[in-house]
Structures are given as C-alpha cells and as structure tokens.
Structure 1
Amino acid sequence: MGTRSGDIDPAIIFHLHDTLGMSVDQINKMLTKESGLLGLTEVTSDCRYVEDNYAEKEDAKRAMDVYCHRLAKYIGSYTALMEGRLDAVIFTGGIGENAAMVRELSLGKLGVLGFDVDHERNLAGPLRQVWLHQQRRHPPCSRYPN
C-alpha cells in the first residue's frame, strides 16, 4: 500500500483518460507509483511517518485510518467467507514486528468478531510471539517475528 492504489472502481481509468485527458502511461504511474500511503499523505509512502505523525498531522491520520479500515475490512470479509470459523489472526512482517498502532486500530474495528486488544501486550517487547489479548479469548490473535 506504499504507492499502489489497491482496490478501485475500474471505471476510474476511463474517467481519468476521457475526462481529464490522462494518457495510459500517466494513469499507470498514478495508480502504481503515486497512490497508497504516498497519495494519502502527499509526502511519503513510509509507514513510520504515518505512525509517528498520527496525532499531529491530518495527512498521517487520514492515511493510518484508511489503512486500518482496509485491513479490518479484509479480515472481516475473509472471516465471513469462512462462515465465521476464524481460528486465529496472526500478524507477521512489518505489521507484526513494528506496527503496534496498526494492529490495535485494525483489531479495534473488529470487536464484533470477539477481538479485545490488550494495549500492554500489543506493545510488549522484545519481539517474540505475543498474544495481543487475554489468551482465553476467541479468536486468538498474535504477532510473530519473521
């Protein structure tokens, strides 16, 4: 999501071409190199900027909120496709290792699925497997180092 648009209405491509006169190359560049976090912040595609400036800068807040909304949307929709039989949510990679705010904001939108993030556990270090809530909760959620 650093510079790519993610899911969009395919008609936007024709609108950009026909109404705004953009070439195919310009549209491709916009959707693959100038969108995502970069497009939302108009500053950078670096998630660290977004997290570090969430409380102070409207662009960072907007980018983080959109990112977490989309993440929660995907977790929720995949859970629905599995008829609610969610065994666990595991965060790995950059989100699992470095993005406590992303984990907390995303799961905070999924309380209806039984998530109740423990703030202290979510921030816990050093990096190892960490349960993000009381372990008796279902579905379980944790983070793992890569």
Structure 2
Amino acid sequence: MTDQELHDLVVKISDDYFKKPFRHKAFFNPRLRTTGGRYMLRSHNIEINKKYFEQLGEDELIGIIKHELCHYHLHIEGKGYKHRDKDFRDLLKRVGAPRFCSTLPEERKRKSRQRIIFYQCTSCKLIYRRKRSINTIKYVCGKCRGKLAKVKDMTVE
C-alpha cells in the first residue's frame, strides 16, 4: 500500500463513518515504533505505522485510522479529543474504533523474554526486583538506607 492509497482510504473512512471530510494529509511514517498511528495537533496530519498493516492486516489498519480520525474530527470541532475525554470515548464507541491498537507479534516476543535484576540490602536483607539496572553507589535501601548489592540477573520467559 502506498501513501496515496492510505490517504484515499482515510478519506473514504472519514466520509463513511464520520460523514465529514478529511482535508489534510495521511501517510506512513517508518519512524513510528511503539504506536499504530499518530494525529498531529499542529498540522492536522495523520501518520500511520506501516508495520501494523504488514503484520496484522487491513482490519487493524482500519481500526487505527478510525481511532486517529476520532482525534482529528474532535480537535477540529474544538471538543475533547484526548483519550481520557468523554467526547473521545463516546465517538470511539459510535464508529467502532479500538481504544488501543493490538500488540505487534515482534513486540510479544520481546515482552515475553524480560530481564529481571535482583538487588539486596546488605543491612536489612530486603530484596528489590527491577527490570532495569540501577546505580548501587547512588541509590540505597528505602527501608533502612543501607547499601544495595546485585544478587542475581536473569531472563524470564
């Protein structure tokens, strides 16, 4: 699918589901990594992550477009366009748009193999479990202010 085909699809979905025109640009952004799409407040353009179309298909792409069009139309009308706003949640339900996009298969693999690091206080023996390593010189035990020592580093599936 090209950027022009994506733009035409966004215009069609806007007309069919929202009964309003889409007057800005819609295109694929290869730099998007953690989200399916993005509505730009200043330019009113919509950017879509092409990986979601390639890995999850056209139905997922249509859901992402509907979600971003909810942001677009509500922002243009001056209504609540943010995820927590009632206007936004109501419009999502009305057009059948998902609140969040699905997780990519490659992200599921990465999330299933998580690194866990255990630290233990040398004074009170309290164990801390962390996903990221911490500077044991800078940080101390929250309970007794004792020194922390790295106990174990493991990968969990």
Coarse TM-score class (shorter-chain normalised)? under 0.3
Whichever of the two has the greater Rg, that structure is 2
Q: TM-score, normalised by structure 2?
A: 0.26
Q: TM-score, normalised by structure 1?
A: 0.27
Q: Which has the higher helix share?
A: 1
Q: Which has the higher strand share?
A: 2
Give the number of the structure with larger relative contact order, counting CA–CA contacts within 8 Å between residues 6 or more apart. Answer: 1
